[in-house]
């Protein structure tokens, strides 16, 4: 079993990805045009564009992270922490931090991200709890 050492993200072939190196040449992650997301329809239409940009940006540094973002966005069920390898957990935490900072200016997304980070199941809370729907603007 491989020991996990923070800051030492390795790919299968033994090379470090750019996120784990001290010299980071990759630019800032893409920013969605949330100012144009004025209603649910524009959010739904804007998401795939942002996701494509995020995957392309991530692949510059880590093919694994880019592929995982792309596949997880279409995954039919929840991805559980216990099923992830230590490297996947590290990439997951990195992605979560990127997403959280990227959507900080978008109230609806920030509310959902914060609820998720507090362990609230978004699917069941939204489906079952009308007060959550109203508070997050999902009603």
> Is the separation of the CB atoms in 56 and 42 below 8 Å?
no
> Is the separation of the CB atoms in 70 and 55 below 8 Å?
yes
For the range 27-35, what are the long-range contacts, defined as Cβ-Cβ under 8 Å and sequence gap of 24 or more? 27/57, 29/54, 29/57, 29/58, 29/98, 29/102, 30/54, 30/57, 30/102, 31/102, 32/102, 32/103, 32/106, 34/103, 34/105, 34/106, 34/109
Q: Can you read off the two tokens belonging to residue 26?
A: 């990759």
pLDDT, residue 1, reads 37
E strand residue ranges, 9-119? none
pLDDT, residue 118, reads 82
pLDDT, residue 38, reads 87
pLDDT, residue 120, reads 77
Which segments in the chain show pLDDT lower than 50? Answer: 1-13, 125-126, 128, 136
> Is the separation of the CB atoms in 80 and 89 below 8 Å?
no
> Is the separation of the CB atoms in 54 and 60 below 8 Å?
no
pTM here is 0.69
């Amino acid at each position: 079993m491989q020991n996990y050492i923070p800051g030492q993200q390795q790919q299968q072939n033994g090379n470090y990805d750019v996120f784990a190196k001290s010299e980071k040449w990759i630019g800032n992650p893409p920013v969605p045009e949330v100012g144009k997301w004025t209603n649910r329809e524009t959010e739904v239409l804007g998401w795939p564009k942002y996701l494509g940009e995020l995957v392309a940006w991530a692949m510059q540094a880590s093919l694994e992270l880019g592929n995982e973002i792309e596949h997880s966005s279409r995954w039919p069920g929840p991805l559980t922490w216990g099923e992830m390898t230590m490297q996947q957990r590290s990439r997951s935490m990195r992605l979560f931090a990127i997403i959280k900072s990227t959507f900080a200016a978008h109230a609806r997304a920030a509310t959902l991200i914060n609820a998720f980070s507090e362990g609230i199941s978004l699917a069941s809370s939204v489906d079952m709890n009308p007060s959550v729907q109203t508070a997050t603007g999902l009603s």
